[in-house]
Structure 1
Amino acid sequence: MAEFDLNDLEKISSRQEIIDFLVEHDIIKEKKFREQLAYEKELKELQEELLDLQLKVIKQNKRVLIIFEGRDAAGKGGTISRAIEYLNPKKYRVEALSKPTELEQGQWYFQRYFERLPNKGELVFFDRSWYNRAVVEPVFDFCTKEQYDKFMKQVVEVEKLLQEDGIIIVKLFLTISKEEQAQRLQERKEDELKQWKLGSLDEKAQELWDVYSDYIATMLEKTSTESSPWIEIVTDDKKEARIKALKAITAELSDQL
């Protein structure tokens, strides 16, 4: 073990510097702990990069829409939480719409989502989006085949029009293995602090796995375009997935700002 004295410790002014010091002097040896520290450090760097990009969005009066879709228990909410942790709260929103009201059911399908699009200088995160009609709604017969077909014909053009109007769109699809999903859903049932996450539809996720898979495959194939591609991220490893998601977001925004 390397030697050090109080003068070394007096130079440390932050938690990260303490961690770096302990690793550098071989005080922390456990591989698992070292991996956790490496994850936290990389996550923080990406969060800082995203904050810098948010400042550019604000300065340039840009509008950014980041869509999170994925299978049940794939980690959408947790990933969004890491993304927004250090952002200016006045200049971002997270939108997670509940089922449409009777009034909204009589509107054009996209209308209630359009009301929540980003304003100038703002980032908006959709925790699920209009793509409910591409997967969840047809799986559970919440829409007719005609409504599904109409959506699939319109959505690419709708996103193109939004982009032409200046909105930057980033689309992430979080996927998960059937085995990992089963484990996470079971954890939600057993953990009182997580039971609120378990919705009535989640309980059918395993039973309808193959039906979900077919609609997901069609959605990814038909609605991923050169200007609005889907970025797929496997989330069996939550930490790795969060890093990949933030890297994808920062890379897309860096290219377009």
Structure 2
Amino acid sequence: MGTQHSSVQPAVAAVTPIAKHDYKHTLRRLQIELVKLQRHVIHCQDKILVIFEGRDAAGKDGTIKRIVQHLSPRETRVVALGRPSEADRGAWYFQRHVAHLPTASEFVLFNRSWYNRAGVERVMGFCDDRQYEEFMATVLDFEQMLVRSGIKLFKYYLDISQDEQIKRLAERRRDPLKQWKISPIDAEAVARWADYSRARNEMFARTHAASSPWTVVRADRKRVARLNLIKDLLLRLDYEGKNKTLLLPNPDVVFPYDEACLHNGMIAA
């Protein structure tokens, strides 16, 4: 787990920024490693599933974009489901996600996932208490079935501070190329910060398990977060020709969830 910090110390203090040139150089080297990994996944017919969760503007889109940039589009899929339809709402909650799970040789990345029920739906009242409790009572069993079927499942939560979220959402509103990202939920994300924190904390407490653990990424520094998440993912997977010296993530940036992180500044309050 990461280095311990005083509860009065800002979480971002320990994360050193990286120069753009160094970032691009390291990212290219990591993308070469990702291509090596994909070659192995295809050859061994592995099934890789990576879940990305986090608050609005946490950097999920940008991280996923860098991961898939040079991978084969035939064996790589990014899944970002929209609002559930009426038919979806009348079906088993996990049903619409099952159709997008990886098959042999596939690398699938979920930009948000079934954990919407533990976050946005819980906070915004899009599900009732019964639906929420049903999800919490069954999600680990569902994930264990996936793992036992041979799917290699990774759950990442990109964590940002309140100040950083406000800054990024403001930048999004000003950028004409990011207008598609704007939604009424953005304002609620800021206004309901504490509610989202409580929902996140309960999600961690009830869905962090040995078979499908959560990994937290401190994401106030976008470039640093991207590089360290990719390093962590590559380090945890086997493939031929791995450059192990490159794949040493900073434990102050990416680390396994632990309840203590909610109190020592490692996870934003």
Identity %: 44
Query: 1:13-52: per-residue Cα shift (whole Å, max 9, x none)?
Result: xxxxxxxxxxxxxxxxxxxxx9221111111111111111
Partner of 2:207: 223
Partners of 1:243 and 1:237 in 2: CA distance:
10
Partner of 1:55: 39
Partner of 2:77: 93
1:41 matched to 2:51: no
Partners of 1:156 and 1:248 in 2: CA distance:
22
Question: 1:172 is matched by which residue type in structure 2?
Answer: Y
1:198 matched to 2:182: yes
Partner of 1:176: 160
Question: 2:146 is matched by which residue type in structure 1?
Answer: L
Question: 2:74 is matched by which residue type in structure 1?
Answer: K
Higher helix fraction (1 or 2): 1
Superposed counterparts of 1:73-112, under 5 Å? 73-112=57-96
Q: Structure 2: 5+ residue runs without aligned partners?
A: 1-17, 243-269
**Normalising by the residue count of structure 1, what TM-score does the alignment of the two structures yield?**
0.84
Partners of 1:204 and 1:134 in 2: CA distance:
16
Structure with more relative contact order (C-alpha pairs < 8 Å, separation 6 or more): 2
Q: How many pairs are equivalent?
A: 223
Query: 1:195-216: per-residue Cα shift (whole Å, max 9, x none)?
Result: 2111121121110000000000
SS at match of 2:74: helix
**Normalising by the residue count of structure 2, what TM-score does the alignment of the two structures yield?**
0.81
- The answer to whether the 8 A contact 1:171-1:228 is kept is yes
Partners of 1:105 and 1:231 in 2: CA distance:
29
Partner of 1:28: none
Shift of 1:162: 0.6
Shift of 1:254: 2.7
Shift of 1:252: 2.1
Partner of 1:21: none
1:155 matched to 2:139: yes
Runs of 4+ residues deviating >3 angstroms? none
1:249 to 230, 233, 249: 233
- The answer to whether the 8 A contact 1:94-1:126 is kept is yes
1:233 matched to 2:217: yes
